[in-house]
Structure 1
Amino acid sequence: MTDFGYFLACEEHPPAALVDQARMAEQAGFDALWISDHYHPWNDAQGQSPFVWSVIGALSQAVSLPVETAVTCPLVRTHPAVIAQAAATSATLLDGRFRLGVGTGEALNEHVLGSGWPEAPVRLSMLEEALQVIRKLLTGERISHYGRHYTVENARLYTLPETELPIDVSAFGPLAAETAARIGDGLITMAPDAGVVERFRRAGGGAKPVYGGLKVCWGTDREEAVRTAHRLWANQLLPGELAQLLPTPRHFEQASQLVTPERTAGAIPCGDDPDVHVAALRAYADAGFDTVYVSQIGPDQQGFFDFYRTKILPRVRD
């Protein structure tokens, strides 16, 4: 049976609003929370980018739902030893209700220190070594690590959760799905692609959980909802590796001019037709996902939560 979570968009909302949305998600009956980890929004219209670890601390005191980063990049901007400490503290505050979602990231967030942006195969190698460092530190032992990409000397985490901290790996293509199966405790991917799920399971993922994310724009005026989705999240429809390679919100704004409102309307569920939202969620369930996280685009969060509480979640849980 598929669970349904809510995806908090740090790119679009300030920290206090994210905490309020988490409360509304719990009251509406969602099962869990995702939260994005960004240094920049994708475009200036989105307009926000709070520090995710501060928000997670607030969430730990505001709700009883599980929380996961979707996703953290422990490669360039933040050293994996620092991510290990942040994740361990978050898991402690959340009393074991925290999962660390990781991926190879985007230049948008990771280039800001000026150290360059490696090619995809190098980033996968960095991710694998980063998880080795994180998992060593999560044992609570003092470690030193001298690897190809990272050095750690005499480091030890003193604040640790009582239970093991799962680490899920984001993947979109076949090679990344196989890497996720080998090094992750679960798979994170955005599209309801049964082929990626099957590749993950056959490569060693087995019964490990698979998590997906879905953007929607609820609203009583569908045309207005399409305009809102296109204005704020046309970047989501950019093809290929652009999302990993473009370095600034301005570049995403330029590239997103190629995405038409019609394409947005066809790719993102918009409006208030329950059948459209239910069909989008069931596509993930049919593809073998264990949990799908829904994110409402735009300011009308309360209307979205009322709609999902009364019209959507009861149907998809039948």
Structure 2
Amino acid sequence: MSDVGYTLSSEEFGPNELVDLASRAETTGFDFLGISDHFHPWLEAQGESSFVWSTLGGVARATDDIDVGVGVTCPTFRIHPVNVAHAVATVASMFEDRRFSFGVGTGELLNEHVTGDHWPPHHVRLEMLREAVDLIRQLWGPGQTNHHGTHYTVENARIFTRPDEFPPICVSAFGEQTARAAAEFGDGFWSVGPQGDLLDAYRENDGDGEAITQVHVCYAETEAEAVSTAHEYWANSALPGELAQVLPTTAHFEQATQAVTEADIREGSIVTDPDPEAHVQAIQSCLDAGYDTVYVHQIGEDQASFFEFYEEAVLPTFD
């Protein structure tokens, strides 16, 4: 049996809506919830960006059995690793015996520059992430932590509220260098789309942890309607190269996506075909690439039709 999950999109829905959607996803039959961690949305149309650790407390109380993961947090700039370690310990204790997965990454300027820290090149951010992950593990250990590292200092820190078991730390990667590094200091791998080459790089470097990935879809009665909705709410997905990592504000994303057309969306990676087989194939391609869990992001306001469609026509394929 394969794990198929649902995305709680913090950029598109407020915290109370996200809690309600989590409950609906569980009753629909999804196995997993992946929730995003952003300070800003990419586009004005998305309109939200609640604090993920507060929202997760509500999700924990509104659901019963479904597994949950944060995908992904940057524990290096906006929030000090000591606070991230504290937040994860508290949330994991609320989910008790459920699987809770903790995804981390090197971050995006859009979210992480808000405290005024310098945004260094990627190799430095990866070095910071490696130290942050090591520090978080120290903080999850018994007793008191003191750490005087290259990037972080912690004095006399001890976490008292602790789960019975701490979650695996899954490292996100968009390039082979980071995928190989994920195998060295992470407990698992997190990505977007099939990305079989990146997962291969992780596995070839002795990475043997859980592999999680996300698929973007927009279900509507017609493909034209789906393309229009995806273009309005998620045109940022069609930006080339590293723009998503280096643009600093929502206004800059608005400017950059002016060049994105509906044809770009139709030809891109978002599934807009209302045929169930298109959605099944998108999920199956990720499973075939070797991912253990695939969670689906329905773009736009219409989540109710998506739940009905997946419950009737998509999820039964993976039972």
Return the offset for 1:191: 2.2
What amino acid does structure 2 have at the position aligned with 1:304? F
Would the aligned equivalents of 1:77 and 1:112 in 2 still touch at CA under 8 Å?
Answer: yes
Return the offset for 1:111: 0.4
Aligned-partner Cα distance in 2 for 1:253–1:156: 43
- From 280, 287, 304, the equivalent of 2:282 is 280
Aligned-partner Cα distance in 2 for 1:25–1:257: 33
Aligned-partner Cα distance in 1 for 2:26–2:45: 27
Match of 2:122 in 1: 120
Match of 2:254 in 1: 253
**What are the equivalent positions in structure 2 for 1:48-197 lying under 5 Å apart?**
48-64=48-64, 65-97=66-98, 98-197=100-199
Q: Could you list the structure 1 runs, at least 4 aligned residues long, displaced by more than 3 angstroms after superposition.
A: none
What amino acid does structure 2 have at the position aligned with 1:105? G
What amino acid does structure 2 have at the position aligned with 1:6? Y
Return the offset for 1:271: 4.1
Return the offset for 1:96: 4.1
Would the aligned equivalents of 1:96 and 1:165 in 2 still touch at CA under 8 Å?
Answer: no
What amino acid does structure 1 have at the position aligned with 2:230? A
Match of 2:266 in 1: 265
| Secondary structure, counterpart of 1:126 in structure 2 | helix
Aligned-partner Cα distance in 2 for 1:259–1:210: 31
Would the aligned equivalents of 2:220 and 2:274 in 1 still touch at CA under 8 Å?
Answer: yes
Return the offset for 1:282: 1.1
Alignment of 1:18 with 2:24, yes or no, is no
Return the offset for 1:87: 0.2
Match of 1:304 in 2: 306
| Secondary structure, counterpart of 1:129 in structure 2 | helix
What amino acid does structure 2 have at the position aligned with 1:39? F
Aligned-partner Cα distance in 2 for 1:236–1:227: 14
Return the offset for 1:2: 2.8
Aligned-partner Cα distance in 1 for 2:156–2:241: 41
Aligned-partner Cα distance in 2 for 1:72–1:151: 20
| Secondary structure, counterpart of 1:212 in structure 2 | strand
TM-score (normalizing by structure 2)? 0.97
Aligned-partner Cα distance in 2 for 1:219–1:313: 17
The number of residue pairs the alignment matches comes to 316
Would the aligned equivalents of 1:220 and 1:271 in 2 still touch at CA under 8 Å?
Answer: no
Runs of 5+ in structure 2 lacking a partner? none
Deviations, residues 207-263 of structure 1 (Å, cap 9, x unaligned): x11110011111102211101101111101212111111000111111112222112
Return the offset for 1:266: 2.1
TM-score (normalizing by structure 1)? 0.97
Runs of 5+ in structure 1 lacking a partner? none
| Secondary structure, counterpart of 1:117 in structure 2 | coil
What amino acid does structure 2 have at the position aligned with 1:228? T
* Aligned-residue identity in percent: 49
Would the aligned equivalents of 2:89 and 2:166 in 1 still touch at CA under 8 Å?
Answer: no
| Secondary structure, counterpart of 2:42 in structure 1 | coil
Aligned-partner Cα distance in 2 for 1:295–1:68: 14
| Secondary structure, counterpart of 1:69 in structure 2 | strand
Return the offset for 1:316: 3.5
| Secondary structure, counterpart of 2:73 in structure 1 | coil
Return the offset for 1:84: 0.2
Aligned-partner Cα distance in 2 for 1:122–1:20: 39
What amino acid does structure 1 have at the position aligned with 2:39? Y
| Secondary structure, counterpart of 1:100 in structure 2 | strand
Alignment of 1:8 with 2:8, yes or no, is yes
Return the offset for 1:113: 0.8
| Secondary structure, counterpart of 1:70 in structure 2 | strand
Aligned-partner Cα distance in 1 for 2:169–2:196: 22
Aligned-partner Cα distance in 2 for 1:165–1:275: 34
Aligned-partner Cα distance in 1 for 2:206–2:255: 40
